[in-house]
Amino acid sequence: MPASAPITQDVMTFPRKLPDGPPNLVGMTRDAMREALIAVGTPEKQAKMRVGQIWQWIYHWGVRDFAQMTNLAKDYRTMLAEQFVIEVPEVMTRQVSDDGTRKYLVRIAGGHEVEVVYIPETDRGTLCISSQVGCTLTCSFCHTGTQKLVRNLTAGEIIGQVMIARDDLGEWPVPGAPKDETRLLSNIVLMGMGEPLYNFENVRDAMKIAMDPHGIQLSRRRITLSTSGVVPEIARTAQEIGCQLAISFHATTDEVRDKLVPINKRWDIAELLDALRSYPKVSNSERITFEYVMLDGVNDTDEDARRLIKLIDGIPAKINLIPFNEWPGAPYKRSSNNRIRTFADIIYKAGYASPIRTPRGEDIMAACGQLKSATERARKSRAQIAQEAGL
């Protein structure tokens, strides 16, 4: 692609409310739900209270059947069941890795599929969720970027991934049972398929639902949004979501970053760093995670490590080094363990945490950048990927 080519957002945007059938309550903001209830005859004075009750059934107790909402009058429940649905995406397959990682293939409206990954650790459990089917960006090391078919997920489909995982983990509270403080699903990362900042409103609404104190109740400090660098939306993320931010940085010169993360041609390293400088203050978050995929002979020299330190000077940061996860046809190799350790050491000595991410669920293709929907069979050829990467 010539350097001047604009990066277009060629997304088949999907209406937020699905066209057929009654509206889904899952994914509506509190305001939207209030309006929807009034539209079907709920008296305005009662609407806020009804939202509170229904909200708690859906997001605190995990109830999907209006009949179980026992603090609502029977007639009202019948009316709700006629006018609305409570729907989450359908789980098509569930794979469990040797290391306990679970990968779900879920089907959303239109027959599209996305992948969701649950990663258990000793002190936490992280759910990696998707925001789009495929991705319009074509990072040359990423499997998702080779997928042609793209559509934005609705807010319901995004929060629905969290609800499905809670179903599978058996994590909805049981009435009367003592409250269990250790949560199996304690963290969310928007690091699955898609560029979350190209689907801003739906991602925001879904994360607001995840954070709501009367429902799933995850702190904004336990939610991390990863972006390849959609600069204009970074300030909005701080203001309107306030979650933790991770940046797919991956290179220390524009020349290399242009090839690895082509959105860099639109907003280069300098513009990206400018946007990042104000993020922690506005969002009141501690530090930004810089993700850095280790590609043999491409971005992994000592000089790269030193340049990286200079670039991020003044930004509260943690550098997450990701050993490259290979996929069929990938035009890169993973850096050697020694190289990764030396690189990490240089960064660590400069005063930054530099953890090396252990690949999880590799045996089920659940590791970072390996996700790709099974419905999308038209795969770009190895030659095409290499050509687009400028190799």
Instruction: Give the binding site for ligand SF4 (CB under 6 A).
Output: 135, 137-139, 142, 144-145, 194-195, 228, 248
How far is the first Cα of the chain from the last one, in angstroms, to the nearest whole number?
12
Q: Are the beta carbons of 176 and 153 closer than 8 angstroms? A: no
Q: Can you point out the beta strands (E) in the chain?
A: 90-96, 102-107, 113-120, 125-128, 132-133, 151-152, 187-190, 223-227, 244-248, 288-294, 317-323
Tell me if 140 contacts ligand SAH by CB under 6 A. no
**303 counts as catalytic:** no
Nearer to ligand SF4, 11 or 164 (CB): 11
- Both tokens of 43, joined, read 């008296």
- The residue from 113, 115, 195, 258 that contacts ligand SAH (CB under 6 A) is 195
Q: Which of residues 223-242 bind ligand SAH (CB under 6 A)?
A: 226-228
φ, ψ (nearest 5 deg) of residue 309: -60, -40
> What span, in angstroms and rounded, lies between the C-alpha atoms of 29 and 229?
27
Distance CA 76, CA 303 (A): 67
324 binds, among ligand SAH, ligand SF4, none (CB under 5 to 8 A by kind): ligand SAH
Distance (Å, whole) CA 369 – CA 264: 18
Binding to ligand SAH by CB under 6 A, coded x per residue (else -) over 284-303, reads -------x-x----------
Asked if residue 321 lies in contact with residue 343, where contact means CB atoms within 8 angstroms, the answer is: yes
**Least separation in angstroms between CB 200 and ligand SF4:** 14
Q: What is the CA radius of gyration of the chain?
A: 22
For the question of residue 115 being annotated catalytic, the response is: yes
Q: Of 115, 195, 233, 291, which one is the catalytic site residue?
A: 115
Does 141 sit near ligand SAH (CB under 6 A)?
A: yes
Q: Does 191 bind ligand SAH (CB under 6 A)?
A: yes
Least separation in angstroms between CB 177 and ligand SAH: 36
| From 97, 152, 161, 248, residue interacting with ligand SAH (rule: CB under 6 A) | 248
Q: Residues 57-71, buried b or exposed e (16+ Cβ, 10 A)?
A: bbbbebbbebeebee
Pair of tokens at residue 2: 């010539």
Cβ distance to ligand SAH smaller for residue 48 or 318: 318
Please report, as ranges, the residues that interact with ligand SAH according to CB under 6 A. 135, 139, 141-143, 191, 195, 226-228, 248, 291, 293, 322, 324-325, 368-369
Catalytic residues: 115, 368
